[in-house]
């Protein structure tokens, strides 16, 4: 029986040396950089992982894999760096590899992103003859003069992400360099060559979200291809996670095993995961199971912090506007509670000022519009002239047109119907509260609201152009409301 196990160990080791030379791991679903250099630094934090896998633990000389990876983003959000080391022992074969990886991202849009990655490193092969039971030690094929050989290695990968869909391809050992072991000079012997095989790995996954993103389920398909060998293998898995603090799932690996996986986060930054392979093929009696453990540390922020930050930032522009409005309102109340009679006088004066200012705005627009109308009639209006609507204003965080706004826009619509050659640009502006990105979106909605209304009144959309300036063109630094405005500019006359 002992001889049978030893023989089986050598056969298994030989198969590993010729075909599946890349370490077989189960935790690639969590530490994605371990299989694809394009995913170095894809997250917003740096991370380091230790992986230990003991495969077919009941067979002497069965594969044992140890790996260390570390990766993270540079200050530029499109660049990531990573490094990895692994040691793979299988029978008499002892392989050690190391690699430095670089990844670069191309953002087609906020939802569509492509990453390219490349790794350069080395592979060190060692033959451990001391563990062999040799019946004919003088066999010339065993007279290897140097049991240790080192060669270059390179990996290539790309990854495409669209919203929650992710597709990746990696090519380990892309150079497929051979490592030659010198034999004693003899006409009857040839040099022993360790032939590196180019591998192809393809991954596709999709994230299903529920419970306001607290629950995520990620089904994944992973295919490994080793040309010129019967080396096509695939994994099908589904991993469920809750708040990214605890996760578990199941994986089927073709012609091999059913794997159970689980993990948890400790103190937000430490990660502990475990996978157990339960063989389901014809050799399950001999293989027994395989154990794999992953221990990780995330620094410079963590996945939990990242998701939590997204939730906190969601709708932050609205809350800032609302908070400022409440603060202004509270301040106003505190200043006006001293004397009811004085407050009544102030309110009366304020109301009078408001009414007067509104009347002034209406009269100003009438005078401005009559002047514009006169110029159009005389043909003296100039391309590039800018006119501001006086009552097309908006409340904070709003892009709905008021009744006063409609009155002014109707006058402009009537004029444009009389002058069919007239084309204008409608531009929206906001105050500087909130982020520039949010203000830009708000200004787009405000100018679009005016355009849509004018089209609904019978104007062709071809005569109207939208421009949006957000908070970039304030007209009064001490009057926030005045900056929330809509203007129109003459493009053709």
Which CATH number is 390's domain given?
3.30.1330.60
pLDDT tens per residue, range 408-448: 788 888 888 888 888 888 887 777 777 878 878 877 887 88
Per-residue pLDDT of 261-290, as tens digits, reads 999 998 888 999 999 999 888 777 777 788
The DSSP output letter for 400 is P
What's the total number of domains in the chain? 2
Tell me, yes or no, whether 114 lies in a domain.
yes
d(CA 320, CA 315): 9
In which domain, by residue range, is 430 found? 368-492
**H-type alpha helices, 227-315:** 284-287, 303-313
**Do 375 and 297 belong together in one domain?**
no
**Of 281, 301, 321, at which residue does a domain stop?**
301
In a domain, 277, yes or no: yes
The answer to whether residues 175 and 52 belong to one domain is: yes
Q: How far apart are CA 453 and CA 408, in angstroms?
A: 12
Q: 290 and 400, same structural domain?
A: no
User: What proportion of the chain, given as a percentage, has pLDDT over 70?
Assistant: 73
Structure pTM? 0.58
Reading the block at residue 410, the tokens are 């109707």
Residue 421 and residue 286 share a domain:
no
CA 425 to chain centre: 37
Residues 379 and 284 in one domain: no
Per-residue pLDDT of the chain (493 residues; tens, 9 = 90+): 344 344 344 334 444 434 567 888 999 989 999 999 999 999 888 999 999 999 876 677 788 999 999 999 987 778 999 999 999 888 777 889 999 999 999 999 989 999 999 999 998 888 776 666 666 666 665 555 556 788 889 999 999 999 999 999 999 998 877 777 666 555 555 666 777 788 999 999 999 999 988 999 999 999 999 876 667 899 999 999 998 899 999 999 998 899 999 999 988 889 999 999 998 887 777 777 889 999 999 987 655 555 555 555 555 656 766 767 777 777 777 776 666 556 655 655 554 454 444 455 445 555 666 677 777 666 667 787 877 776 666 666 677 777 777 777 888 888 888 888 888 888 877 777 778 788 788 778 878 888 888 899 898 888 888 887 777 888 777 777 677 777 888 888 7
Axis crossing angle, helix 403-418 with helix 340-378, rounded to the nearest 10: 10
The verdict on 296 and 390 lying in the same domain is no
Pairing of strands 464-470, 423-429: parallel
Residue 406 placed within a domain: yes
CB 92 within 8 A of CB 10: yes
In a domain, 357, yes or no: no
Q: What CATH number does residue 87 fall under?
A: 2.40.160.40
Tell me, yes or no, whether 396 and 251 share the same domain: no
């Amino acid at each position: 029986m002992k001889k049978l196990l030893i023989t089986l160990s050598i056969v298994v080791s030989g198969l590993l040396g010729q075909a599946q030379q890349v370490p077989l791991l189960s935790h690639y679903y969590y530490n994605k950089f371990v299989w694809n250099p394009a995913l170095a630094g894809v997250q917003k934090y740096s991370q380091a992982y230790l992986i230990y896998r003991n495969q077919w633990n009941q067979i002497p000389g069965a594969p044992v894999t140890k790996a260390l990876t570390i990766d993270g983003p540079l200050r530029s959000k499109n660049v990531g760096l990573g490094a990895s080391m692994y040691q793979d022992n299988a029978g008499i074969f002892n392989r050690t590899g190391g690699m430095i990886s670089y990844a670069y991202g191309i953002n087609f849009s906020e939802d569509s992103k492509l990453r390219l990655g490349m790794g350069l490193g080395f592979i060190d092969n060692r033959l451990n003859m001391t563990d062999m039971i040799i019946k004919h030690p003088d066999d010339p094929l065993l007279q290897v003069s140097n049991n240790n050989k080192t060669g270059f290695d390179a990996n290539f990968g790309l990854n495409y992400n669209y919203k929650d869909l992710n597709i990746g391809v990696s090519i380990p050992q892309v150079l497929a360099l051979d490592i030659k072991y010198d034999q004693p000079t003899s006409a009857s012997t040839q040099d022993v060559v360790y032939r590196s095989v180019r591998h192809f790995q393809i991954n596709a996954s999709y994230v299903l979200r529920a419970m306001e993103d607290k629950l995520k389920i990620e089904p994944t398909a992973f295919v490994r291809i080793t040309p010129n060998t019967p080396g096509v293998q695939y994994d099908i898995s589904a991993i469920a996670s809750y708040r990214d603090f605890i996760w578990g799932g199941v994986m089927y690996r073709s012609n091999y095993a059913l794997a159970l996986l689980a993990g948890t986060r400790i103190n937000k930054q430490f990660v502990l995961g475990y996978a157990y392979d339960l063989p389901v093929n014809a050799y399950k009696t001999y293989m027994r199971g395989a154990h794999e453990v992953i221990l990780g540390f995330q620094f410079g922020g963590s996945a939990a912090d990242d998701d939590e930050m997204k939730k906190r930032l969601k709708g932050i522009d609205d809350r800032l506007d609302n908070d400022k409005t409440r603060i202004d309102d509270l301040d106003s109340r505190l200043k006006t509670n001293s004397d009811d009679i004085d407050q009544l006088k102030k309110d009366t004066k304020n109301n009078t000022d408001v009414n007067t200012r509104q009347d002034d705005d209406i009269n100003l627009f009438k005078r401005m519009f009559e002047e514009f109308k006169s110029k159009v009639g005389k043909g003296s209006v100039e391309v590039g002239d800018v006119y501001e609507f006086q009552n097309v204003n908006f409340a904070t965080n709003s892009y709905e047109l008021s009744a006063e706004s409609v009155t002014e826009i109707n006058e402009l619509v009537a004029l444009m119907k009389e002058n069919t050659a007239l084309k204008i640009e409608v531009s929206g502006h906001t105050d500087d509260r909130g982020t520039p990105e949010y203000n830009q979106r708000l200004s787009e909605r405000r100018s679009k609201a005016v355009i849509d209304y004018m089209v609904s009144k019978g104007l062709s959309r071809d005569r109207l152009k939208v421009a949006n300036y957000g908070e970039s063109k304030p007209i009064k630094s001490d009057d926030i409301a005045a900056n929330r405005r809509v203007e129109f500019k003459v493009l053709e006359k």
